[in-house]
Copies of this chain bind each other. A is one copy, B any other.
Amino acid sequence: MSTENKVFIYDTTLRDGAQAEGVTFSPVAKIHVAKMLDSFGVDYIEGGYAASNPKDMAFFKDIKKEKLKHAKVAAFGSTRRANTPVEQDKGTLALLEADTEVCTIFGKTWLLHVTEVLKTTPEENLAMIEDTCRFLKENGKEVVYDAEHFFDGYKDSPEYALQSLEAATKGGADVLVLCDTNGGCLPHEVFEITALIREKFDVAVGIHTHNDSETAVANAMESVRAGAVQVQGVINGFGERCGNCNLISVAANVTMKTDKTCLADPEQLKNLKKLSLFVNEQAKLRNNKRAAFVGDSAFAHKAGMHVDGVRKVSHSFEHVPPESVGNSRRILISELSGASNVMEKLLEMGLDNIDRKSPEVREILQTMEKMEKSGYVYESADASFKMLIKKVLKEHKSFFELDGFRVIIEKRGKNEPCISEASLKLKVNGEKAFTVGEGDGPVDALNMALRRALHKFYPGIDGVYLADYRVSILDPEEATAAKTRVVIESSDGDSSWSTVGVSENIIEASWEALVDGVEYKLFLNEEKAD
C-alpha cells in the first residue's frame, strides 16, 4: 500500500453488511456482488467470517473460480483465543483454510472489553494480537489488523490502545485499521486520533466506521484527510444497527472532492448508481430515493425557482454533475412549480415544438393547479401527469370505456375470512367485456377483473403488475368521508411508472389510478409500434 494519494477501498458488504437486520445474501448473490465489486474497482472484498459460517467458507472456494480482475479477497476472523497456542487455534486455522490472499483479524483495544468481555489479562490480549498477526504473516498472508473499539479504547486508555497497535506491528500487520465499532465518534475526534496514530506508526492506517451518530461517511473522510489510506465500508451503508460507512458516498467524495483517488479507473464512478441498485437488489433491500449521489431524488428539483436556476446554470443547484455518478436530473411537478417544469416534461415526451409562452403550456399549468387543489399530486405520479398533458393537447384516447363495476367485501362471521369480489363491465373496441376478479382486498379484486377483461384485446399488458400502492387521506378532519388519494406504481419488469387517483371513495380513487397505469402502458406500446 504505497501508491501516493491512493485510498484503498475495502468492501465488507458481504460480511459486516450482512449483519444488517433483514439482510441475508444467498450463496449465488454473494458471488454476483463480488464480481460486480471487482469490475467497479474495489481493492478488497471481505467475503465472510471464516470460522463461524460454513456458507462463508463455501464462498471462499467458489470465488476462486471467478478469477477476479482486480480485487483481493479477504477472510475475516479474530485474534486467537486466550491461553491457546496460535497454531492450535481453530479460528486462526479456519482463516488459513479459507485460502485467501488477505486475512483480516480483529483484536481488542479497549481494556473494558479485555477484562469484562474476553475475561483475560491486558498482557495476554497483547500476546494474542501479536501471535496471530505473526502466524498469518508467516503463512504468506497480507494481514489487515482491525483494532476493534479503537477510539473508545483510546479515549479510555491511550497507553494501552497504543500498545495494542504496537503488538500488531510487531506481529507484522500490513495495515492498522482504526475501528469506531459502536459508531459513537464525531468527525473531529476521528481526525485527531488518526493523525496521531499516523505520526506514531510507520505502518499504513485504515478506518472502519459505523453510522450510529449519522456521521460514518464524514468520519471516514476526516480519517482520510488525516492520512488513512484504507476505508472499510459497505455499498449503500447497511450493516449492524444503523449501518456501516457507505462506500458509495466515500467513492464519490474521495474521487470528486479531494486530491486523492480510490478507483483504478475513475470512469467507473459512472457505474455508481448501477452498483448501488444492484447490491440492494441482491440484498433484497428497498432503494433509498434520498440516497446521496445515487438516489432517485438526489438530483430531483421541485421548487420552481430552483428548476429555473438549474436550467440557467446547472451547477448552480447541483454539487456534482448527475451523469458523473450514473444518475440523472429529474424535474418534479408540484404545486410549487412553474412553466419551467412543464417545459422539461414536454421535452421528455419528445414534444419540443411547444413554446414556453404558448396557450397550451398555460392550459397545462392551469389544469394541473386545478387538479392539485382537488387533491392530486403529480410529483410522485409522473405517468398521470403525462396523461394530463395528452388530454390537454387533445392527444389522449381511451383504450376502453367503463360500463360499471361492483365490488363486494363480505365477512360471514367473526372468525370467517373476509372475501373480496369484483365484477366489471367494460366496452373495448365496441365489444362488451364482462369479467369477475377475486383478491385479498377490494382493489386487488378489481385489478384482477381489469387484467382479465383487457387480456384478449391488449395482450401487451399481460406482464404489467402493481409494484406499490399508497393511500393518503386528505382533510383528515372529515375522517372516512374525506377524500382519498391513491398512488399506484406499475411495472413491466424493465421500467416502472406511477399514477394517481382521487375520490371520496377509496375504491373509485384506486380505479382511476389503475386505469391511468394501464392506459399509460398502452400508449407506450403504441408509440414503440409506430
Contacts and interface: CB of A to CB of B under 8 A. Distances in A.
A174 interface: no
B468 A471 contact: no
A310 B20 CA distance: 17
A420 B312 contact: no
Interface size class of A (residues with CB under 8 A): 35 or more
Copies of this protein in the complex: 2
B479 A466 contact: yes
Contacts of A149: 316
Contact of A336 (B52, B211, B252, B442): B52
Interface in A474-530: 474-477, 479-482, 484, 488, 503-508, 510-511
Given A186-B257, A240-B300, 9 more contacts: A20-B297, A110-B316, A212-B293, A213-B249, A213-B257, A409-B505, A441-B481, A444-B481, A480-B510
7 contacts: A22-B380, A184-B319, A187-B187, A212-B292, A213-B252, A418-B508, A468-B473
A138 to B, nearest CB: 27
A394 interface: no
Contacts of A19: 302-303, 336
A298 interface: yes
Contacts of A288: 288
Contact of A408 (B211, B214, B290, B406): B406
User: Residue among A53, A295, A479 with the most chain B CB within 10 A?
Assistant: A479
A214 B218 CA distance: 7
A241 interface: yes
Given A184-B257, A257-B186, A319-B213, A21 B289 contact: yes
A505 B413 contact: no
Interface string A264-283: 00000000000000000000
